[in-house]
Structure 1
Amino acid sequence: MARNWTPLALVYLALSVVGLVGTWTFNALAIVQLRDFFGDWFGSGPAVSSLTVDLLVVAVAGSVLIFVEARRLGMRFAWLYVVGSALTAFAFTFPLFLAMRERRLAERRIAEADA
């Protein structure tokens, strides 16, 4: 329903698109340049390793949040966001989940107002 797309949901959706396009632009460059993706990721010095650990911890915490919130709100197929992040990027799937979560919350508010 169109009225479930709140401004916040649209912001999350836009961030999801930016995350997908941004990460896959660099993934495509790595493929075209025949780079060793994981070698570059883990072997390019302490600064890159620090960023890697930082992002991995955030991705794990975000994945836990996805499962907990999806269960709390009755959102089905939450596991697809986590699996999808391995196939695309967490920068895409996490904001996408937040957008769908916001839609679910808006749906609940509308149902409560109509009741």
Structure 2
Amino acid sequence: MRQNRQLAAVYGLLAVIALVLTWSQNLAYFGGGGGLSVFPAFLRDAAVNPASRSVTFDIALVLYAAAVWMVFEGRRRRIPFVWAYVIGGLLVAISVTLPLFMAARELKAGATPEIEGRPGLLDGVGLGALAILVIGLCAFVFRQTGG
């Protein structure tokens, strides 16, 4: 149980570091104002060259893989609010919410015996919608190459 708490603390620290690093850059980018109107420009800038496109594809696909794992593992271990981690990954940063989920998983694993739960229909619908979003983002970024 102590090891679980220590590992959860490491994951929590990683989440804080990720939040500071990602949002220092997000705030610098969006700092000029404009609210959500600058989001299309952000996506275009994420597709400006092969390096940015590679990172964008990488993050989008890691986000989806992490979301699938979080939903299945979250349901299996009965971690509450599993979709908050997924949505937070979209709105904040997956590098923040994945370690938070992993910390919650460690704390749950140390507190309860192995339990089994299963994703439901709404989980499937949510993951399907997320897949469409990720595919759309990747298609948008790919189109920016002229391909």
TM-score band (shorter)? 0.7 to 0.9
CA deviations on 1:28-70 (whole Å, 9 max, x unpaired) are: 110125673112112x211111111111111100000100111
> Structure 2: how far apart are the matches of 1:78 and 1:29?
30
| Equivalent position amino acid for 1:79 in 2 | W
Structural mapping, 1:63-82, within 5 Å: 63-82=67-86
Structural mapping, 1:60-99, within 5 Å: 60-99=64-103
The answer for the alignment partner of 1:16 in structure 2 is 15
The answer for the alignment partner of 2:46 in structure 1 is 41
| Equivalent position amino acid for 2:44 in 1 | G
CA deviation after TM superposition for structure 1 residue 4, in Å: 8.8
> Structure 1: how far apart are the matches of 2:82 and 2:49?
35
CA deviations on 1:54-94 (whole Å, 9 max, x unpaired) are: 11111100000100111110112101111111221111101
CA RMSD of aligned residues (A): 2.0
Greater Cα offset, 95-104 or 73-82:
73-82
Greater relative contact order (Cα 8 A, min sep 6): structure 1 or 2? 1
Greater Cα offset, 94-103 or 24-33:
24-33
> Structure 2: how far apart are the matches of 1:79 and 1:54?
21
Structure 1 alignment gaps of length 5 or more: 110-115
Count of aligned residue pairs for this structure pair: 107
The answer for the alignment partner of 1:56 in structure 2 is 60
Percent identical across equivalent pairs? 37
> Structure 1: how far apart are the matches of 2:103 and 2:60?
21
CA deviation after TM superposition for structure 1 residue 98, in Å: 0.3
> Structure 1: how far apart are the matches of 2:90 and 2:53?
19
Q: What TM-score do you get using the length of structure 2 for normalisation?
A: 0.66
Task: Give the conservation status (yes or no) of the 8 Å contact 1:4–1:103.
Answer: no
The answer for the alignment partner of 1:31 in structure 2 is 30
